[in-house]
């Protein structure tokens, strides 16, 4: 369903797969997100950190895509965490209650250290 | 400010509602939103989709869907929206018929709306806990596809049991969206098959949320039905 070019590079740090989410997360990001999760899963990482630092636009379809990744991870026995959310996106996570399903950290280092989410 | 700012509703503690003419305005005002983790039953991820064709754009599909949301529902289900329609922060009142029971009143909060998608969250008492997203997009071959996606649990043990009843359960939880998408496609002159993908993500029941049954919209609607009849007479 891709219409807009988007990339979600996957990095590996301390056993965690870090997915740098694209600036725009809507229907056009479906393939990108699914491929990024598949790459992270293929690497065998037990934790996948979604880095929202670059995100500028998140639609409800984008939220549905993130929910899809959460569902897959849950089935696969993987943990999804998130970092780099602006206040606006924290608010969205509050409305959609996505925060119920994943720990949210202020930044990548805090996420990699684990512990209490913010 | 991000580009999607105006598309999202502001967080609310409880739902506010001004009465909608002709509706049973019950079980909405003062209710908190209920996320999937606040529900009771098995957690399911569901996607229903229908291919509408190349002639209609996703924007046209969503404009029409938003404007006539209730018209595409199967008979017996009604949605009462404010004049502003499906817009972020607006509350819709649902009056739904359940076989052998009084009309159930509940509602939804519109948490997101743009020109190709919109989303609802359900309040306490609604049969399902979790977000519902309605969208339209073009696939690789340029065909417009309309979708309903949800990640939900039945809200309480009553609804979980109801969903397990053959025919009734399927009708309440899945057929409503299949019928809606069929009706939407028909509106654009397409007689299409609705595809469904249902995955149980977590088969465990959340017994800590069994108490949600106190807010059950069907039970409360049933209990208040005699009072409504007395008020009307």
pLDDT means over runs of 10, chain B (233 residues):
82 89 89 89 93 96 96 91 92 88 91 94 92 93 95 92 83 88 97 93 91 91 77 67
**ipTM of this complex prediction, to 2 decimal places:** 0.81
CB contact under 8 A, B112 and A60: yes
pLDDT at A117: 66
CB atoms within 10 A of CB B6: 11
Residue B172: per-residue pLDDT: 76
Q: What count of CB pairs under 8 Å joins A to B?
A: 104
- How confident is the model at residue A54, as a pLDDT? 93
Lowest mean pLDDT among A77-81, A107-111, B2-6, B88-92: B2-6
Average pLDDT over residues A5-9: 83
Q: Is residue B205 part of a domain?
A: yes
Nearest to B201 among A56, A71, A92 (CB): A71
Q: How crowded is residue B231: how many other Cβ atoms within 10 Å of its Cβ?
A: 8
pLDDT of residue A112: 92
Higher pLDDT, A100 or A24: A24
From the centroid of its chain, how far is CA B117?
14
- Please report, for residues A30, A60, A109, A112, B45, the alpha-carbon distance to residue A89 in angstroms, rounded to integers and kept in the order given: 19, 12, 19, 20, 23
- Say whether A59 and B139 touch across the interface (CB within 8 A): no
Residue B69 domain-assigned (yes or no): yes
Give the span between the Cα atoms of A30 and A48, in whole angstroms.
Answer: 17
How does strand A47-51 pair with strand A79-83? parallel
Q: Is the pLDDT of residue A113 over 90?
A: no
Into how many domains does chain B fold? 1
In this structure, is residue B194 part of a structural domain? yes
How many residues belong to chain A?
Answer: 118
Hey, is the C-beta of A94 within 8 angstroms of any chain B C-beta?
yes
Site from B2, B4, B113 to mutate, A interface, most A CB atoms within 10 angstroms:
B4
Average pLDDT over chain A reads 89
Is residue B233 in some structural domain?
no
Query: B50: closest CA among B115, B144, B187, B116?
Result: B144
With an 8 Å Cβ cutoff, are B37 and A101 in contact? yes
Contact B10 A60 (CB under 8 A): no
Tell me what pLDDT residue A118 has. Answer: 66
pLDDT at residue A47, as a whole number: 95
Contact B138 A3 (CB under 8 A): yes
Q: Please answer yes or no on whether A59 and B4 come within 8 Å at the CB atom.
A: yes
Is B117 in contact with A100 (Cβ distance < 8 A)?
no
For B177, the domain range is 5-224
A57 and B3: CB-CB below 8 Å? yes
On the 0-12 / 13-18 / 19+ scale of CB atoms within 10 A, B99 is exposed
All residues of chain B having their beta carbon less than 8 Å from the beta carbon of residue A56 are: 2-3
Query: Looking at the domain assignment, is residue B211 inside a domain?
Result: yes
Structural tokens at position B57: 């754009």
pLDDT at A1 (0 to 100): 42
| pLDDT value, residue B18 | 85
Q: Which residues of B touch A59 (CB under 8 A)?
A: 4, 7, 112, 114, 116-117
What's the CATH code of the domain at B172? 3.30.530.20
Q: Which residues of chain B make contact with A33, given a CB cutoff of 8 A? A: none
Is some CB atom of chain B closer than 8 A to the CB atom of A90? no
Closest B-chain CA to A2: B140
Contact B14, B32 (CB under 8 A): yes
Whether residue B232 lies inside any domain: the answer is no
Residue B203: CB atoms within 10 A of its CB come to 9
Q: Which of A3, A95, A98 to mutate to test the interface with B (most CBs of B within 10 A)?
A: A95
**Domains and their CATH numbers in chain A:** 10-110 (3.30.750.24)
Query: Nearest CA to B202 among B35, B36, B33, B34?
Result: B36
Q: Average pLDDT for residues A64-88, to the nearest whole number?
A: 91
Cβ(B148)–Cβ(B134) under 8 Å? yes
């Amino acid at each position: 369903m891709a219409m807009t070019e988007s990339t979600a590079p996957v990095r590996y740090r301390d056993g965690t797969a870090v997915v740098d989410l694209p600036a725009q997360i809507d229907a056009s990001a479906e393939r990108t997100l699914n491929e990024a999760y598949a790459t992270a899963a293929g690497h065998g990482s037990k934790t996948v950190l979604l880095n929202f630092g670059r995100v500028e636009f998140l639609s409800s379809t984008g939220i549905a895509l993130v929910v899809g990744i959460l569902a897959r991870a849950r089935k696969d026995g993987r943990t999804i965490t998130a970092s780099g959310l602006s206040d606006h996106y924290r608010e969205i996570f509050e409305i959609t209650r996505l925060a119920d399903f994943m720990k949210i950290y202020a930044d990548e280092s805090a996420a990699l250290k684990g512990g209490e989410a913010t | 400010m991000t580009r999607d700012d105006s598309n999202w509703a502001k967080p609310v503690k409880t739902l506010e509602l001004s009465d909608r003419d002709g509706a049973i305005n019950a079980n909405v005002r003062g209710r908190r939103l209920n996320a999937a983790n606040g529900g009771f039953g098995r957690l399911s991820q569901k996607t229903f989709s229908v291919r509408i064709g190349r002639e209609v754009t996703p924007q046209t599909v969503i404009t029409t869907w938003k404007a006539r949301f209730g018209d595409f529902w199967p008979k017996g289900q009604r949605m009462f929206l404010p004049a502003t329609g499906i817009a972020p922060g607006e509350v819709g009142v649902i009056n739904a018929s359940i076989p052998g029971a009084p009309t159930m009143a509940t509602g939804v909060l519109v948490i997101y709306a743009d020109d190709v998608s919109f989303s609802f969250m359900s309040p306490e008492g609604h049969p399902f806990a979790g977000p519902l997203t309605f969208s339209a997009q073009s696939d690789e071959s340029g065909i417009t596809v309309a979708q309903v996606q949800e990640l939900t649990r039945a809200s309480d043990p009553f609804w979980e049991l109801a969903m397990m009843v053959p025919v009734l359960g399927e009708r309440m939880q899945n057929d409503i969206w299949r019928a809606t998408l069929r009706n939407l496609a028909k509106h654009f002159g397409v007689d299409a098959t609705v595809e469904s993908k249902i995955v149980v993500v977590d088969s465990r029941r959340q017994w800590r949320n069994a108490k949600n049954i106190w807010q059950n919209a069907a039970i409360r609607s049933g209990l208040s039905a005699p009072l409504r009849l007395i008020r009307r007479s």
